[in-house]
């Protein structure tokens, strides 16, 4: 048995895009371990949805949180021990809908965590409703005649919110995806990968993706304008046009916990503290 596996039975559908995310994570963690990041320093944080089951499948520290609420827990974990690698696995319903505020603020703070969004563009575990990134034609169970709203472009939002590593990946192209995943984890600061993970049961986009995906390399990863242009080149529709995958943006900006640890979280002498405080308030 693989040393990173647990006894938890895997309950994803055959052909689910999550399998390749799982395989990639395993490969990247093994890689990192060889490069000096021990498994014990890795902490996986999950939202709620099919994606979140991934934390159960790894014999690695994990915090299975609530739908939409993985990110604030992950931020505090990182603040508590800046020496850890904190990786959040979240869904598109999970983080682009219910937990959007946390995603934006984590990017704003540039806290050094990695957010992997399993963006299958449907609520799969909740059985096929439409999400913020469902294509307009999507006939979800809650919009049986086709989605009434246009999707929004979460990576555009991430760019203006202050994320310092932004990528889109397709786990089927596993070598490319693994490279991005590793880069994101190693990146110092807030990193996000929007993963085009296919839900075979409710929103099977394999054909569209396989046909239209295009691996791109930006000429200057630190260029906001170039990133914006690439990000805007596809708006989560299903038209016949290239869908860019790759690293769109990477910038060097001090991370939250670097600024934050101005003061060390040491307990100090609390008896003296009490005496001083009471003296001050006399």
Partner 1 sequence: MQHVSVLVGGETGYGVSDAGVMICRLFCRLGYRIYMYNDYPSSVRGGHQFVIVRASTEKVAGHSDQVDVVLAFNQDTLDVHKIRFHNHTVIIYDSEKVRIDGISQPSYGLPLGKILEEEGGKPVLGISCMMGGLCKALNIDWNIFEAMMQKHQTETVKKSLKIAHKGFEMAQTVDSLEVIQQPLLPVLSGNQAITLGLLKAGLQAYVAYPMTPTSPIAELLASLEPDIGIHVVLPESEIAVMMMALGYSYMGVKSAIGTSGGGFSLMVEGLSLAGQAELPVVVVLGQRAGPATGMPTYTAQTDLNFVLHAGHGEFPRFIIAPGDAEEACYWAGVALNKAWKYQIPAFILADKTLCLGLFSFDLSLTAELKEEPPVLWDGQGEYKRYQYTEDGISPLAFPPVEAQVVKTNSYVHDENGITSEDPADARAVADKRFLKEKNLAAELKDFETVKVYNQGKTALLCWGSNKGVCIEIAKKYGLKVIQMLVLSPFPEQALTQALQGIEKIISVECNGKGQLVTLVKQHGFKVDDQILKYDGRPFSLEDLENDVKKVIG
Residue list 3-22, contact with partner 1 (CB under 8 A)? 6-8
The residue range among 77-85, 138-146, 172-180, 211-219 that interacts with partner 1, by the rule CB under 8 A, is: 77-85
Q: Which is nearer to partner 1, 94 or 250 (CB)?
A: 94
The rounded distance, in Å, linking the Cα atoms of 50 and 60 is 18
- Distance from C-alpha of 168 to C-alpha of 197, rounded to nearest angstrom: 11
Strand 42-46 versus strand 85-91 pairing type: parallel
Element (H, E) at 103: helix 100-109
37 binds partner 1 (CB under 8 A): no
Q: Which CB sits closer to partner 1, 43 or 227?
A: 43
Q: Rounded to whole angstroms, how far apart are CA atoms 49 and 127?
A: 10
Name residue 193's beta-bridge partners: 116, 167
CA dist., res. 239 & res. 211, Å (int):
11
Burial of 21 (0-12, 13-18, 19+ CB in 10 A): buried
Our CB check for partner 1 shows the closer of 148 and 264 to be 264
Tell me which residue of 126, 125, 118 sits closest to 142, measured CA to CA.
126
Which of 15, 76, 211, 214 forms a contact with partner 1 (CB under 8 A)? 76
Site string for partner 1, 230-269 (x = CB under 8 A): ------------------------------x-xxxxxxx-
Q: Is residue 214 a contact residue for partner 1 (CB under 8 A)?
A: no
Q: What is the DSSP letter of 253?
A: -
Residue 222 interacting with partner 1 (CB under 8 A): no
Query: 25, 32, 54, 55: which one contacts partner 1 (CB under 8 A)?
Result: 55
Residue 242 CB, shortest distance to partner 1, in Å, is 35
Q: How many CA atoms lie within 13 A of 18 on its CB side?
A: 24
Cα–Cα distances in angstroms (integers) from residue 234 to residues 97, 155, 187, 194, 204, in the given order: 20, 11, 25, 13, 18
Q: Which helix (H) or strand (E) holds 274?
A: helix 270-280
Q: How far is the CB of 187 from partner 1 (least distance, A)?
A: 20
Unique residue bearing structure tokens 């603040």: 79
Instruction: Tell me the window of 47-55, 135-143, 212-220, 235-243 that interacts with partner 1 (CB under 8 A).
Output: 47-55
Q: How far is the CB of 79 from partner 1 (least distance, A)?
A: 6
**35 binds partner 1 per the rule CB under 8 A:** no
Judged by CB under 8 A, the residue of 23, 33, 61, 174 near partner 1 is: 61
41 binds partner 1, rule: CB under 8 A: yes
Binding site residues, partner 1, CB under 8 A: 6-8, 38, 40-41, 43, 48, 53, 55-56, 59-66, 69, 71-77, 79-81, 84, 101-102, 104-105, 260, 262-268, 270-271, 273-274, 276-279, 281-282
């Amino acid at each position: 048995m693989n040393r990173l596996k647990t006894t938890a039975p895997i309950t994803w559908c055959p052909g689910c895009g999550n399998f390749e995310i799982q395989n990639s994570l395993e490969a990247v963690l093994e890689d990192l371990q060889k490069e000096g990041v021990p498994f014990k320093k890795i902490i996986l944080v999950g939202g709620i949805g099919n994606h979140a089951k991934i934390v159960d499948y790894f014999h690695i520290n994990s915090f299975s949180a609530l739908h939409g609420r993985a990110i604030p827990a992950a931020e505090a974990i990182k603040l508590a021990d800046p020496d850890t690698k904190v990786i959040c696995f979240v869904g598109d319903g999970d983080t682009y809908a219910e937990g959007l505020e946390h995603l934006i603020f984590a990017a704003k703070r540039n806290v050094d965590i990695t957010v992997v969004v399993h963006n299958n563009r449907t609520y799969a575990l909740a059985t096929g409703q439409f999400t913020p990134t469902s294509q307009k034609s999507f006939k979800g169970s809650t919009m049986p005649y086709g989605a009434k709203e246009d999707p929004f472009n979460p990576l555009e939002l991430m760019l203006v919110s202050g994320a310092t590593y932004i990528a889109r990946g397709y786990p089927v192209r596993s070598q490319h995806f693994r490279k991005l995943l590793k880069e994101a984890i190693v990146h110092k600061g807030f990193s996000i990968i929007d993963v085009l993970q296919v839900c075979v049961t409710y929103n099977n986009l394999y054909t569209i993706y396989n046909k239209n995906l295009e691996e791109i390399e930006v000429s200057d990863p630190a260029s906001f304008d170039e990133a914006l242009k690439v990000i805007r080149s596809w708006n989560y529709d299903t038209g016949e046009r290239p869908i860019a995958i790759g690293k769109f943006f990477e910038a060097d900006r001090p991370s939250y916990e670097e600024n934050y640890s101005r003061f060390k979280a040491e307990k100090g002498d609390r008896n003296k503290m009490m005496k001083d405080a009471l003296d001050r308030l006399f």
